Amino acid sequence: MNLDQLNDRIAVIEIEVAAALRENGTVDSIRRLDTAVLGKESSLGSMIAGVKEYPPDQRGAVGKLVNAAKARVKAAIERRLAELASADSAADAQAASGFDPTLPGTAEPMGSVHPVTAVQWEVERSFERLGFTVEAGPEMETEYFNFEALNIPATHPARDMQDTFWLTNGKLLRTQTSPVQIRAMLKFGAPLRVIAPGRCFRYETIDASHENTFHQVEGLLIDRDIGIPHLLALARTLLSDVMKRDVELRVRPGYFPFVEPGLEIDMNCRICDGRGCPTCKHSGWVEVLPCGMVHPNVLVAGKIDPEEFSGFAFGLGLTRLAMMKYGIRDIRVLNAGDLRPIVSPRRLGGPILASR
């Protein structure tokens, strides 16, 4: 072959060697490659032996070309062997020290699960054991799903700017997770057991038991022959399960456009044990579960026949439930960045949860 062809052949060999060095990760494999490329019977070795076949005036140039290629390949192989030797030394030192930097740290993790998140997980597990599924919906809602489909007329006070965060795009920040109930009815039909946990927003004055941003879980059960006794039994079972104790409940009538009749279920205040405090407005009771039988208009909006099916809906305040469970006196603590919480040491004595 002429000098140009020889140059091309050498270039191909060097490319193949570079690829082989990247693929081989042991000293033995690299030494075998050394013999295969630089030995007497190798491709470069045969080129040296073939110098005498070139015309006398080209033999010097051919010899220099082949020897330079052998030197470059030899240097690349030596560098790769040095890399492997360095890696082996590091591995030996690591094994001798007993330290593995790839293992997770042994120090205790900082922080803990937020109280509201911990309560939400407990509520979800309780409902899942009762056959409910967990659904989610958008926090930026349409007026239809947040109000109209829930039988809330245009004249209702909740439509005012003083109660709802309205957005410039015509939508709003949902005032409850009830819109997910409508979406679930349209998606699954009846019978239906679903809960919808999430964050809600209301434009109202903040105090020890009210926030403009809070968490709740809406629940919906629709089937044949469902009545208020089923609702009360579920409420007592759920609250006792989450609070890990029997709870004292108070049931009183309430008005909500999307249920008829409507009920307010209050729980004995765990902050003051019913004696009266700012959290319960000195009444001894905290509203935790507004509820009622689903209004026929809401069933119709969800494409469900109210003549065949009935059901109940409820809204459980996750934020207030967390306050009751962990003895947190002021709801404003839960959304604040202050690391000095206003809590009752008697009820909150350590990390809330390390993991789910």
Gap between the Cα atoms of 233 and 224, Å rounded: 17
Gap between the Cα atoms of 22 and 263, Å rounded: 73
The phi and psi torsions of 102 (rounded to 5 degrees) equal -85, -10
pLDDT of res. 351: 38
DSSP letters of 96-135?
A: HHT--TTSPP-SPPSS---HHHHHHHHHHHHHHHTT-EE-
In tens, the pLDDT along 128-179 reads 988 999 999 999 999 999 999 998 888 877 677 557 888 999 899 998 899 9
Rg (CA), the chain: 37
Two tokens, residue 239: 């609250």
Contact 74, 17 (CB under 8 A): no
Which among 39, 34, 43, 41 has a CA at the least distance from the CA of 1? 43
pLDDT of res. 185: 94
Gap between the Cα atoms of 60 and 54, Å rounded: 9
Two tokens, residue 168: 């410039």
Contacts of residue 6, Cβ cutoff 8 Å, sequence gap at least 6? 47, 62, 65, 66
pLDDT of res. 342: 45
CB-facing half-sphere around the CA of 18: CA atoms within 13 A: 8
Gap between the Cα atoms of 5 and 47, Å rounded: 12
Gap between the Cα atoms of 115 and 325, Å rounded: 9
Two tokens, residue 36: 């295969």
Gap between the Cα atoms of 198 and 120, Å rounded: 9
Q: Which residues of the chain have pLDDT under 50?
A: 341-356
Gap between the Cα atoms of 159 and 203, Å rounded: 11
